[in-house]
Amino acid sequence: MNEVKHQKRKSLKTRFIVMVSMLICLILVLVGIVINNQVREQVITQMKKRGEALAKNIAANSMEALLTGDELSLGVYVDKIIEEPSIIYAMILDDHGRVITHSNLKVKKGFQFEDRISLKSVNSEVPLIQDDGYSDEFGDYIDVTMPMKRGDSKIGLVRIGFSQQEIETASTRLRNTIFIIACVGLFGGIAITWVLVSRVIKPLRQLTRGVEIVGSGNLDFRINLSSQDELGQLANSFNTMTGKLKTAQQTLIEQERLKHELQIAQQIQASLLPREFPKVEGADVQAFYRAAKEVGGDYFDFINISPTQIGFVIADVSGKGVPGSLGMVVTRSIFRMQALTGGTAGEVLTRTNELVYQEIKRGIFVTIFYAILDIPLKRLNCASAGHNPPVLFHKEMTSWIKLDGLALGVDKGPIFNKTLKENTIQLTPGDIFLMYTDGVSEAMNLKSEEFGENRLASIVRRAGSLPLAECLKLVQKEIEQFVGNVPQSDDITIVGLKVR
Amino acid sequence: MGTLDITKETKLSGPNEIAIINITGSLDAHTAPQMDEILSELVHNKKNKLLVNFIHLEYISSAGMGLFVGWIDTIRDQGGDIHMIQLKPNVMKVFQILGFDKIFKIFKNEKDAIDAFL
């Protein structure tokens, strides 16, 4: 993975360097060409001017010699001219175009050139420059014709031919100079680009590395970039984002943990509850249970103590989630054991409290209501450990079975025992005994009103003559209607006993 | 779920120093941690003579009750106690059903509660 990144980084640098180099080259080449052409033109112009001036000079100087027929002097002039390297030929002709003297000794006196350029030259009355005739490997010759006049009549002419050899040399020298400058410029450019790009690449590399580290899962890492420019800003923004990611991650982890805990608690909860209602001779038993989303931990149970006794218990644990559920499991086990061991409702609760107090966490307590039904006699022996008073429906009236008692798990024994009051109630046919948890009385509607015990009692009064199952269904329906869309915050548990 | 506001004062000084805690609003599962922190701090600093004023407390849940239950043993072991005053009727009812009025010392007014410490 690093190899690929390495290549990518290199190519960024290389790309920059190549582009800058190409740009420098392009500029230098263009400049070079332009300069070269300009210079060349200048040189040629200069050359032509010089040629003309020279020819003029010679013409002026050789006038006398020509008039006097002094061929020797003319020859000397021509020889002198030819010494210049770029002058290929020089000649003095008479007014008919016949050679008087020529730099090339092979050309005899009196010779007449008949080529186009020469004809044009001979016939010219004015100074003439022709560069469209002769040429060699260096380019076109510049042929300068300078007529010699005495007054208005032409007495002869001077002709000089320049080669562009010198221009070539000068041009080449210029080209070389430009080339050297170009190379220096190019290398300089590359060097500077290299340094600049490296400067940028370094923080970019740091940034990339930082992103990799964070990407691999280390959300505590912060990229430390010293520059204040755009890269520095990018690093800062990235660090901020990392911080937020970490917070979000922690929140998510916490949420997942809670959700998981909730699921476990619900599973525990489900396993605690009886799956069917007992068949009691001469009585109907029904229960209704609906768990809240945030499991609180209600439970109810039926204990088959003996052929003539059956125990009804309802309980509510104070802690939520898994701690609550565990507290409930512990309580249920201890209670069940004590209930089966025997004794009055009060005695069972007292023994249960002593054991539960040692087992459950400080700050968690359990409210519990226990009623032992003597089946043949229909007598109910009740005791409460801080639980809501159950409803008793008798002869179309309702009353509350209020019994003092401390919740389980708060006190080791002395205060619990002192507080506990048990009672025995005689039930008659038609009576309904209803235990419930505060999920019922504290069920809230949109207006934040509580359902309340009184509302429960009034429903029981209304439905008291109906079969127990229907009565409970009615209670359930009324609670649902009352609450409406407000989410349930606590478990709702109702256990009912109706004597036939 | 509501909100909870807690303010503290001190009465008397030295070994008789009493920390007065005024609670306003709702003490439920959501706000219990706030109260827990306060109690924890006080107990840690050996300020264990606590007077809690319930006059502005509108609602208490089992989580709130559990909070006091959780700390009472530690505070009593240190030689201190929690005295409660001015409980609203609905809050008092919860204490009574649970039997917690037998566990916690509840007084009618601040003077009685303070005197009971001396």
pLDDT reading at A348 higher than 90: yes
Higher pLDDT, A457 or A6: A457
Question: What CA–CA distance (Å, rounded) separates A364 from B25?
Answer: 22
Tell which residue, A445, A497, A442, A438, has the closest CA to residue A471. A497
Q: How far apart are CA B68 and CA B81, in angstroms?
A: 11
How many Cβ pairs closer than 8 A exist between chain A and B?
A: 54
CA of A444: which chain B residue's CA is closest?
Answer: B1
Q: Which residue has the higher pLDDT, A56 or A340?
A: A340
Residues of B in contact with A368 (CB under 8 A): none
Per-residue pLDDT, averaged over B32-49, amounts to: 91
Render pLDDT for A59-113 as a digit per residue (tens, 0 to 9). Answer: 888 888 888 888 888 888 888 888 888 888 899 988 888 988 888 888 888 888 8
Rounded-to-integer distance, Cα A75 and Cα A143, Å: 19
CA dihedral A31, A34, A39, A40 (to 10 degrees): 140
Q: Are A475 and A455 in contact (CB under 8 A)?
A: no
A350 touches chain B (CB under 8 A): no
List helix spans (H) across A105-164.
Answer: 116-123
Mean pLDDT of A243-265: 88
Question: Across the interface, do B99 and A318 touch by the CB < 8 Å criterion?
Answer: no
Residues paired with residue A144 on neighbouring β-strands, in sequence order:
A129, A160
What pLDDT sits at residue A4?
Answer: 60
Total residues found in chain B within this entry: 118
3-state secondary structure of A123: helix
Tokens of A461: 């009064």
- Assess whether pLDDT exceeds 90 at residue A376: yes
pLDDT bucket at A295, cuts 50 / 70 / 90: low
**Helix ranges, A297-400 (H):** 321-341, 345-359
Please say whether the beta carbons of A260 and A253 come within 8 A. Answer: no
Residue A1 vs residues A13, A215, A245: alpha-carbon distances, Å: 19, 14, 25
Of A363, A385, A406, the CB nearest to B70: A363
Residue A208, beta-bridge partner list: none
Instruction: Note the pLDDT of residue A418.
Output: 93
Q: Give the burial class of A242: count Cβ atoms within 10 A of its Cβ; 0-12 exposed, 13-18 middle, 19 or more buried.
A: buried
Interval A311-330 mean pLDDT: 87
Residue bearing the bigger pLDDT, A286 or A47: A286
Rounded to the nearest angstrom, the minimum Cα separation between B49 and chain A is 19
The alpha carbon of residue B28 is apart from the nearest alpha carbon of chain A, in Å, by 11
CB burial readout B25-37, b (16+ within 10 A) else e: ebbbbebbebbbe
A270 pLDDT above the threshold of 90: no
Q: Strands (DSSP E) along A347-416, which ranges?
A: 366-374, 379-385, 391-394, 397-400
Residue A275 is classified by DSSP as S
CB-based contact B67 A385, cutoff 8 Å: no
Number of other residues whose CB lies within 10 A of the CB of residue A492: 25
Partners of A436 in the beta sheet?
Answer: A494
Q: Which of B98, B68, B96, B66 is nearest to B83 (CA)?
A: B68
Would you call B66 and A319 a contact, using CB atoms and an 8 Å cutoff? yes
Whose tokens are 């025995």? That residue is A424
Q: Above 60 in pLDDT, residue A2?
A: no
Could you report the per-residue pLDDT of A400-423, keeping only the tens digit for each? 999 999 999 999 899 999 999 999
Distance CA A494, CA A437 (A): 7
| CB atoms A363 and B98 under 8 Å | no
The predicted pLDDT at position A3 comes to 58
Structure ipTM: 0.89
What's the start-to-end Cα distance of chain A, in Å?
81
Is the pLDDT score of A268 beyond 80? Answer: no
Distance CA B37, CA A397 (A): 48
- CA distance linking residue B81 with residue B91, whole number of Å: 20
Q: What are the contacts of A255-261 at 24+ separation with CB within 8 A?
A: A258/A321, A261/A321, A261/A322
pTM: 0.63
Tokens found for residue B25:
């609003």
Average pLDDT, chain A: 87
Q: Which residue of B has its CA nearest to A442?
A: B61
pLDDT at A406 (0 to 100): 95
Structure confidence at residue B1 (pLDDT): 55
Among B62, B67, B103, the residue with its CB nearest the CB of A415 is: B103
Residue with tokens 């303070």: B114
Pairing of strands B49-60, B81-85: parallel
Q: Which residues of A touch B29 (CB under 8 A)?
A: 320
Cβ(A327)–Cβ(B70) below 8 Å: no
Displacement of CA B8 from its chain's centroid (Å): 11
Q: How far is A383 from chain B (nearest CA, A)?
A: 13
Res A489: pLDDT: 79
Cα–Cα dist A365/A319, whole Å? 8
Contact B99 A419 (CB under 8 A): yes
Asked whether the beta carbons of A323 and A394 are under 8 A apart, the reply is no
Q: By the 8 A CB rule, do A446 and A486 touch?
A: yes
Helix, strand or coil for residue B48?
coil
Choose from A317, A356, A365, A419 for mutation: most chain B CBs within 10 A: A365
For residue A292, which phi and psi values (nearest 5 degrees)? -85, 165
Provide, rounded to the nearest whole percent, the portion of chain A with pLDDT above 70.
97
Q: Which residue has the tokens 């107090």?
A: A357
Q: Is the pLDDT of residue A189 over 90?
A: no
